[in-house]
Amino acid sequence: MADLPDSMPKTMVAMGFDAPGGPEVLRSEVLPMPVPGPGQVLLKVAYAGVNRPDVVQRQGFYPAPAGASPIPGLEVSGEVVALGEGVSTDLFGRKVCSLVAGGGYAEYCLAEADQCLPVPPGLPLDQAAALPETLMTVWHNVFERACAREGETILVHGGTSGIGSMACLLGKLYGLTVIVTCGGPDKCKAALAIGADHAIDYKAADFVEEVARITGGAGVHIVLDMVAGDYVARNLRCLGEDGRHVTIAVQGGTRAEINMAAVMSRRLMLTGSTLRPRSKAFKAALVAELRDTVWPLVGEGALRPVMDQAFALTDVAAAHQRMEAGAHIGKIVLKVG
């Protein structure tokens, strides 16, 4: 373990909870300052991203992996203020953003050095904190697991969410036609402004019928699904031959009934993933790939996250309420530093 400088405070403020429940269970606590271990850095957090898994963790359904901080928060931006054993001294004092396995809702947070990305000039720290989780999730699931290729069409549910908006942005940068579903005309309008080619109001129309109309009956190549449950069978009806269905959340339930004869006859592929429990080695490899492929687009300003609202760290309950209400468009972040 590294020795922290004497000038560093011995404690920090973090936002945790004693027992699962609604947003009101989140409360401030004073914790010992984390000390970076081998391969880790300590970040003085500027902003922390708020993500749906944070809400599910607070509700008691998504516990932190073994060895991770029980404090919520999966992505942060900030300054490297201490180094663990084996970490290059070049990182000290750098502004970075990082995926973390937990602990983001705090004044200081540990991160794996090889999961950090440099914050390029011109990228505000609030936007930097809004990138790691959604960028890694979309890249891995759409471009690695579903093997998206230029010229293909993707259906994305929740088109104005953090994940949905990132799928729109990356899809357009990499030559995909993007169809999204949204709850209401205002959100459809927002999705089109973000970059979606088509936006379906699922409250006013059957998205299966609309996808058939938009694609001339051919169907889409990929479905990025955050609902699961009874959406799965409907999603499969949206897929064309050799289509790929990727599930990344189960907001509509964990069970689905599907027609396996259709899966076989149309050669459909069903897959899915969760990012948080993956190994450090996997996450480091994914970050390295993004550093080479997508991060130059961030550096030149071609990719910027869609931002919704920033809340003070101590107003995290209000941030969770906004996410659960579904009113947000893009990313919610907490201002820490």
> 158-181: per-residue pLDDT in tens?
999 999 999 999 999 999 999 999
Neighbour count for residue 309 (Cβ, 10 Å): 16
With a CB cutoff of 8 Å and minimum separation 6, the contacts of 2 are 35, 36, 37, 42, 82, 83, 84, 85
Q: Is the pLDDT of residue 3 over 90?
A: no
pLDDT, average across residues 110-116: 98
Q: List the structure tokens of 315.
A: 């107003």
Q: What is the pLDDT of residue 316?
A: 98
User: What is the domain count for the chain?
Assistant: 2
Which CATH number does the domain housing residue 208 bear?
3.40.50.720
Q: Is the pLDDT of residue 2 over 80?
A: no
Q: What is the pLDDT of residue 203?
A: 96
**Residue where a domain terminates, one of 218, 240, 272:** 272
> Are both 265 and 294 inside the same structural domain?
no
**Residue where a domain terminates, one of 253, 272, 291:** 272
Proportion of the chain above pLDDT 90, given as a percent: 94
> Are both 138 and 230 inside the same structural domain?
yes
Tokens 């029980």 identify what position?
70
Task: Give residue 54's identity as a one-letter amino acid code.
Answer: D
Q: Is the pLDDT of residue 31 over 90?
A: yes
Alpha-carbon gap, residue 21 to 12, rounded angstroms: 24
pLDDT, average across residues 72-83: 97
> Are both 161 and 267 inside the same structural domain?
yes
Query: What is the β-pairing status of strands 177-182 and 239-247?
Result: unpaired
Q: List the structure tokens of 28.
A: 């401030």
Which of the four pLDDT bands, split at 50, 70 and 90, describes residue 1? low
pLDDT, average across residues 143-164: 97
CA-closest candidate to residue 51, choices 162, 153, 137, 147: 162
Which CATH number does the domain housing residue 293 bear?
3.90.180.10
> Are both 306 and 266 inside the same structural domain?
no
* Contact (Cβ atoms closer than 8 angstroms) between residue 235 and residue 158: no
> Are both 79 and 195 inside the same structural domain?
no
Dihedral sign for Cα 255, 256, 260, 265, please: negative
pLDDT, average across residues 11-16: 97
Which of the four pLDDT bands, split at 50, 70 and 90, describes residue 5? confident
User: Has residue 6 been placed in a domain?
Assistant: no
pLDDT, average across residues 206-231: 97
> Are both 284 and 211 inside the same structural domain?
no
- pTM for the predicted model, two decimal places: 0.95
User: Has residue 290 been placed in a domain?
Assistant: yes
Neighbour count for residue 78 (Cβ, 10 Å): 29
With a CB cutoff of 8 Å and minimum separation 6, the contacts of 164 are 156, 157, 158, 180, 191, 226
User: Has residue 1 been placed in a domain?
Assistant: no
User: Has residue 243 been placed in a domain?
Assistant: yes
* Contact (Cβ atoms closer than 8 angstroms) between residue 273 and residue 141: yes
User: Has residue 4 been placed in a domain?
Assistant: no
* Contact (Cβ atoms closer than 8 angstroms) between residue 258 and residue 232: yes
pLDDT, average across residues 130-136: 97
Dihedral Cα 196, 162, 298, 273, nearest 10 deg: -100
DSSP SS3 for 279? coil
* Contact (Cβ atoms closer than 8 angstroms) between residue 75 and residue 51: yes
Alpha-carbon gap, residue 300 to 298, rounded angstroms: 6
User: Has residue 3 been placed in a domain?
Assistant: no
> Are both 155 and 233 inside the same structural domain?
yes
pLDDT in tens, 37-51: 999 999 999 999 999
Alpha-carbon gap, residue 249 to 276, rounded angstroms: 12
Alpha-carbon gap, residue 295 to 89, rounded angstroms: 22
Tokens 């759409």 identify what position?
142
> Are both 140 and 126 inside the same structural domain?
no
Domain residues for 202?
A: 134-272
User: Has residue 5 been placed in a domain?
Assistant: no
pLDDT, average across residues 74-94: 97
CA-closest candidate to residue 290, choices 80, 39, 118, 109: 118
> Are both 264 and 308 inside the same structural domain?
no
Q: What is the pLDDT of residue 4?
A: 80
Alpha-carbon gap, residue 2 to 47, rounded angstroms: 24
**Residue where a domain terminates, one of 223, 253, 272:** 272
What does the radius of gyration of the chain's CA atoms come to, in whole angstroms?
20
pLDDT in tens, 276-286: 889 999 999 99
* Contact (Cβ atoms closer than 8 angstroms) between residue 140 and residue 273: yes
Beta strands in 143-279 (DSSP E): 153-157, 177-182, 198-201, 220-225, 239-247, 269-272
pLDDT in tens, 172-211: 999 999 999 999 999 999 999 999 999 999 999 999 999 9
Proportion of the chain above pLDDT 70, given as a percent: 99
* Contact (Cβ atoms closer than 8 angstroms) between residue 323 and residue 50: yes
Q: What is the pLDDT of residue 67?
A: 87
Q: What is the pLDDT of residue 221?
A: 98
Which of the four pLDDT bands, split at 50, 70 and 90, describes residue 117? very high
Alpha-carbon gap, residue 318 to 323, rounded angstroms: 9
Q: List the structure tokens of 303.
A: 């990719």
> Are both 195 and 255 inside the same structural domain?
yes
> Are both 114 and 141 inside the same structural domain?
no
> Are both 142 and 254 inside the same structural domain?
yes
User: Has residue 182 been placed in a domain?
Assistant: yes
